[in-house]
Chains A and B, each alone.
Chain A
């Protein structure tokens, strides 16, 4: 309270509204304001992890190793983006992990069983993926159930359907190799190719990841739709009262996750030629973890698109860094957990320190 009294004595009242100086609305130093942003905290956490592994694992210093880490991060990161947007919008999607495999299975089986150009399969898979998102969103809006329950249901349904339908159609639990079919090379070029940068082989998913992140950032910060996402995540009722189309926003966010699942599914299909129907279980938690590490609130209403990029990078870095460092593989999961917790704590500490007055 003394602070308030002081300026009144030493400086005369501010002449205009632009120059407030009573201490309450005073601009804090730029560095502190930056640190208070969630994505800066996770950025520092990611840098800390990177430096840690650069020191402990010499192999990481190699350019091609970094490309490998970025590849792993990108396959997590592409899905973490829509999952993060959905989380800002106040909802979860537990079916995101198996939905990736559903999409890949659909594309592969459609093309193979009907002997069609693989692009037909790719389009059908897109429709199916968007439909799953639509279903999740529609059920959520219609029933008012928590998204945790709704998507837990679809998670289990998809897991069973993946297995049963694959078995029914192909007679096996994995799809047939489609690498010799028409259009495969084109699709591979789009979803799963790689290119050289200064002698380092970089996967195209890394580029897509950054493009999608830029796009998501723009949508969140510069468009009306972005405002809607924050609004429905913050308070559904009051945002509806001010005219935000809550139903549309929620359903479209789920469909966006469907789109992400489609993209990653296509990547998996065109880089490995076949898909195992039992895969993908557990991945949804990794996507959610990447978004949360990236500063998205579990309760919705706050977060960014750039944070999850660093969150996914941190995940990829830790996962592969442990291998590069050559640590005892039995401890792998434990290391992963400790590193992630550590990184999140750094993130939290940075934010607290920066916002303290």
Chain B
């Protein structure tokens, strides 16, 4: 113990400094914004089922720190809490690693697996193994064209191409002539499909622009550069909510006439829509995808139900959010669940 005595002597002045700092800081509180101003939002709660405890694995291709997947996970957690389910969440953007995670779930003998099919071929074998082990598997988010082929029971999601097409049509209605589709991760299938969908239905010209999504200043500079080079651009389409906010800044600074539309939502974005900085967003309701995927496994286990009748996918999008309906959605987005 005596080894620590000198340390505690050293500690005393440090504690004093810390206390003094705390006192100084107390005088620095912000009178606006911050946690204080945040509304205390109750999470949706629907009681709890008294069915036997079960374990469900949710395996996605999420990249770390993606807002979108965070909402999927929240939906899944809400359903798990309600259905007395223990949720095992795991994710890896690499398809091979994702297959390994599914295998891990099979080894753990879970009662159900919900999986995203970003690269269906890579998951084919492991899904067959799950079926052989009598574990029900449902799909969510991506893979709307492959889920039946792989023998999944149900599917919850939105076809990325269909969402892109819907956005393209919307651009026609808005009278746009030239749009630029901003891809934040070069080579991502889902993102490419969205832009391709836009290209398919949009009657004006669509150009794509690759930006470095891990570095916001770079995203901003690149969009600014694009807007400067081509003054004909009248719509910037981003594929993720944070990039829409940055695109709006670029448009503002270049004084371009372009408007901003985006895929996916977050809480800052709903504010920007009501202010008019961003025209509209296409929402695929990620919360619903996570929620339904987990809930469906519970229903199957306890009542033998199939959502979509086992034949058709359950579509969660595309739902448009614009000035007309943003108010109803805003309060949910603020909680991070829309």
Contacts and interface: CB of A to CB of B under 8 A. Distances in A.
* A and B associate: yes
Interface of A: 57, 59, 62, 64-65, 68-69, 71-72, 75, 111-120, 159, 162-163, 166-167, 171-174, 176-183, 201, 267-268, 271-274, 276-283, 316, 319-320, 323-324, 326, 329-330, 332-333
B205 interface: no
In order of increasing CB-CB distance, the 8 nearest A-B pairs are A278-B65, A115-B34, A181-B33, A72-B221, A180-B33, A182-B30, A115-B36, A75-B217
Given A115-B29, A320-B222, 7 more contacts: A180-B32, A180-B37, A182-B31, A272-B249, A278-B64, A283-B214, A323-B222
Report the contact-size class of chain B (Cβ under 8 Å from the partner): 35 or more
B65 A163 contact: yes
A324 B228 contact: yes
Contact of A112 (B35, B65, B271): B35
A174 B210 contact: no
Contact of A201 (B221, B242, B253): B253
B25 A274 contact: no
Contact of B28 (A57, A120, A276): A120
Given A320-B222, A323-B222, A332-B210, A120 B25 contact: yes
20 contacts: A59-B228, A112-B35, A114-B25, A114-B35, A115-B29, A116-B28, A116-B34, A159-B64, A162-B65, A177-B33, A276-B67, A282-B214, A319-B212, A323-B222, A323-B226, A323-B229, A324-B229, A329-B209, A330-B186, A333-B210
Nearest to A316: B221
A181 B32 contact: yes
B296 interface: no
Contacts of A281: 214
B242 A174 contact: yes
A172 B31 CA distance: 24
B232 to A, nearest CB: 12
Contacts of B224: 68
B30 A118 contact: yes
B268 to A, nearest CB: 6
Contacts of B38: 176
Contact of A319 (B67, B218, B242, B249): B218
B35 A113 contact: yes
Nearest to A274: B268
Contacts of B70: 167, 172-173
Contacts of B217: 71-72, 75, 267-268, 271
A279 B215 contact: yes
Contacts of B271: 177
B242 A68 contact: no
Nearest to B69: A173
Contacts of B33: 112, 115, 177-182
Contacts of A171: 336
A121 B135 CA distance: 49
Interface of B: 25, 28-38, 63-67, 70, 183, 186, 207-210, 212, 214-218, 220-222, 224-226, 228-230, 242, 245-246, 249, 253-254, 266-268, 271, 336
Given A111-B30, A112-B34, A323-B209, A272 B245 contact: yes
Given A116-B34, A117-B29, A280 B214 contact: yes
B273 to A, nearest CB: 14
Nearest to A275: B216
Nearest to A321: B225
A326 B28 contact: no
Contact of A283 (B63, B186, B215): B215
A68 B228 contact: yes
B64 A163 contact: yes
Contacts of B36: 115
A64 B228 contact: yes
A290 to B, nearest CB: 13
A181 B38 CA distance: 12
Nearest to A286: B215
A162 B64 CA distance: 10
Contacts of B210: 329-330, 332-333
B65 A173 contact: yes
A101 B80 CA distance: 32
Contacts of A176: 35, 38
Contacts of B37: 115, 180
A115 B35 contact: yes
A191 to B, nearest CB: 12
Contacts of B64: 159, 163, 278
A233 B268 CA distance: 46
A329 B226 CA distance: 11
A267 B217 CA distance: 9
Which one of A113, A181, A329 has the greatest number of beta carbons of chain B within 10 Å? A329
Contacts of A118: 30
Given A120-B25, A278-B63, A333-B186, A115 B30 contact: yes
Given A72-B217, A323-B222, A181 B30 contact: yes
B254 to A, nearest CB: 8
Contact of B225 (A65, A272, A332): A65
Which one of A159, A166, A176 has the greatest number of beta carbons of chain B within 10 Å? A176
A274 B37 CA distance: 16
